[in-house]
């Protein structure tokens, strides 16, 4: 009798390592806003294209409203008590995530310049509020991001916050900074010392890409 031996060898390769998709590379790079004096209630800086950052254009300033709604600067707002948005850019304060398009669900850094030179009284009651509106096609609903305290000194200084853009907003969104003398962190506060006559506000409209990620 013949005996046959059959030998089988099965080789199994390990599965490929999972890969994490990279964010979309910026399509427009840094954007500089143009001043829109027709779409909104006042002259407002608007970045009309997608990009990794948005910086304001010229043409607005203290005493010359630069808001998308009916909120105006206080009657005594001037260049010596002033808040201006310098930039909205992708990424956090450490630079993580920088260089990619601003998109919903991603973190951005909002940077503002404040000047607190000639406002009478105690600088301990100076506050800078940061707000975000996810839809500027109608009267905006402002969400408070946070409040920071300028240093107790005159001159110019920069303050920044991180913020994660929510899902489901409009393509055009806005941020606001408000420098106030006392009062409350309302988007158009007039409750502070001297009824908000020193308060200064600045809005910046920028374009936000939709994300393929589903918000749970």
101-146 pLDDT, tens per residue? 999 999 999 999 988 865 555 667 889 999 999 999 778 999 999 9
pLDDT exceeds cutoff 60 at 1: no
Strands 53-55 and 30-32: parallel
Indicate the length of the chain as a whole number. 216
32-73 pLDDT, tens per residue? 888 887 788 888 899 999 999 999 865 554 445 689 998 988
pLDDT exceeds cutoff 50 at 196: yes
Taking residues 147-152, what's their average pLDDT? Answer: 86
Alpha-carbon distance of 148 to 168, in angstroms, equals 27
Mean pLDDT score of the chain, rounded to an integer? 79
pLDDT of residue 120: 52
> Are 206 and 173 contacting, i.e. CB atoms less than 8 angstroms apart?
yes
Strand partners, 157: 114
Alpha-carbon distance of 112 to 91, in angstroms, equals 16
Alpha-carbon distance of 74 to 88, in angstroms, equals 24
pLDDT exceeds cutoff 80 at 204: yes
179 DSSP assignment: E
pLDDT of residue 34: 85
- Chain centre to alpha carbon of residue 10: 57
Judged by DSSP in three states, 131 sits in strand
- Chain centre to alpha carbon of residue 63: 22
């Amino acid at each position: 009798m013949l005996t046959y031996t059959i030998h089988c060898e099965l080789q199994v390769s390990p599965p490929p390592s999972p890969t994490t998709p990279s964010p979309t590379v910026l399509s427009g790079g840094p954007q500089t806003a143009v001043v829109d004096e027709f779409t909104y209630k006042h002259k407002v800086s608007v970045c009309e294209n997608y990009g990794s950052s948005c910086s304001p254009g010229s043409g607005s300033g203290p005493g010359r409203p630069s808001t998308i709604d009916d909120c105006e600067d206080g009657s005594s707002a001037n260049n010596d008590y002033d808040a201006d948005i310098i930039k909205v850019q992708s990424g956090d304060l450490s630079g993580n995530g920088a260089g990619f398009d601003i998109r919903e669900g991603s973190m951005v850094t909002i940077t503002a310049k404040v000047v607190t030179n000639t406002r009478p009284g105690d600088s301990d009651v100076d506050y800078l509020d940061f707000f975000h509106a996810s839809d500027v096609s109608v009267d905006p609903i402002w969400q408070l991001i946070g409040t920071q305290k300028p240093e107790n000194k005159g001159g110019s200084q920069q303050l920044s916050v991180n913020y994660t853009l929510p899902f489901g907003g409009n393509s055009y969104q806005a941020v606001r900074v408000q420098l106030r003398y006392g009062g409350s962190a309302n988007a158009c506060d007039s409750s502070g010392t001297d009824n908000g006559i020193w308060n200064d506000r600045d809005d910046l409209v920028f374009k936000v890409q939709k994300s393929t990620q589903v918000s749970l």
